[in-house]
């Protein structure tokens, strides 16, 4: 049985020092959490399986991802590093991989130009291309009969709408249908973030996580809402995710990666310790 991956996420914004890890609620009200390089070192030593580095304001500000911070981070960690944020060209992917990243995460640029997934996958390989999908629940099912309707925890029917530019713009695109297309175009993984849960510490959005995990053959990384190890356990046991991404519980030292893995192992979730 494949082991489940625990992935700390470094949401980074540009500041005078060159980069600062932040955490907010639904992508706003950002709170500083520390230096990305120092946090990356800590997680590497603590047994994280991978790291995700997201330059969360690059797309909205129309700038490229911070190459220098990636280089410094890659020099300090010896686990796979995925980088995302403002990536919209083959040249940008090439620069980021040369800077030391193992994978790139594409989001807004892929929604705007789906063929970008195919082009980048053909050049660099599907194993290097992660499609990040940010989505929100939309309960307007009457006017959206062509969408993939799921049942929420309380029985309410809803579909999940893809949002871009760090959650600032709704697209009208169905998240399940978009995930299927991303897989067909050559994406090697899906990084799924529920905007409704981001930073809330209320647990993963299990209906959409489970749906994608069951529908797709590529790995699903659950993201958004972790407040304790039980939430990660539920992401694996109920959401059927292949990997669990978390930020706040690790950044602010509420739990260590090792503590989470020991909790999961006690509940018979296969993890690498």
> Both tokens of residue 86?
């403002």
Measured between alpha carbons, how far is 171 from 158 in angstroms, rounded to an integer?
A: 16
Q: Identify the helix (H) or strand (E) that includes residue 232.
A: helix 229-237
DSSP per-residue letters across 60-101: HHT----HHHHHHHHHH--S-EEEESS--SHHHHHHHHHTT-
- Catalytic site positions: 11, 134
Torsion, Cα of 249, 247, 52, 222 (10° steps):
90
Question: 228 Cβ partners below 8 Å, 6+ apart?
Answer: 201, 249, 254, 255
CA dist 31 and 135 (Å) reads 22
Residue 42 neighbours by CB distance under 10 Å: 19
Q: CB neighbours of 150 closer than 8 A, spacing ≥ 6?
A: 157, 158, 159, 160, 176, 207, 208, 211
């Amino acid at each position: 049985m494949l082991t489940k991956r625990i992935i700390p996420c470094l949401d980074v914004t540009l500041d005078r020092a060159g980069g600062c890890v932040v955490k907010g609620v639904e992508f706003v009200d950002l709170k500083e959490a520390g230096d990305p390089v120092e946090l990356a070192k800590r997680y590497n030593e603590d047994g994280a399986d991978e790291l995700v580095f997201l330059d969360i304001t690059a797309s909205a500000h129309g700038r490229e991802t911070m190459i220098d911070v990636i280089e410094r981070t890659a020099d300090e960690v010896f686990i796979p590093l995925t980088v995302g944020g403002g990536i919209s060209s083959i040249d940008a992917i090439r620069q980021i991989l040369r800077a030391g990243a193992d994978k790139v995460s594409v989001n807004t640029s892929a929604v705007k130009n789906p063929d970008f997934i195919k082009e980048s996958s053909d050049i660099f390989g599907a194993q290097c291309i992660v499609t990040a999908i940010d989505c929100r629940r939309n309960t307007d099912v009457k006017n959206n009969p062509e969408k993939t309707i799921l049942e929420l925890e309380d029985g309410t029917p809803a579909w999940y709408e893809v949002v871009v530019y760090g959650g600032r713009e709704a697209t009208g695109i169905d998240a399940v249908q978009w995930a299927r297309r991303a897989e067909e175009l050559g994406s090697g993984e899906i990084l799924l973030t529920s905007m409704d849960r981001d930073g809330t510490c209320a647990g993963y959005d299990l209906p959409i996580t489970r749906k994608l995990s069951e529908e797709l053959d590529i790995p699903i990384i659950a993201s958004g809402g972790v407040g304790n190890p039980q939430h990660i356990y539920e992401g694996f046991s109920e959401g059927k995710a292949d990997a669990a991404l978390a930020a706040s519980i690790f950044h602010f030292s509420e739990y260590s990666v090792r503590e989470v893995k020991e909790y999961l192992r006690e509940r018979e979730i296969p993890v690498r310790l």
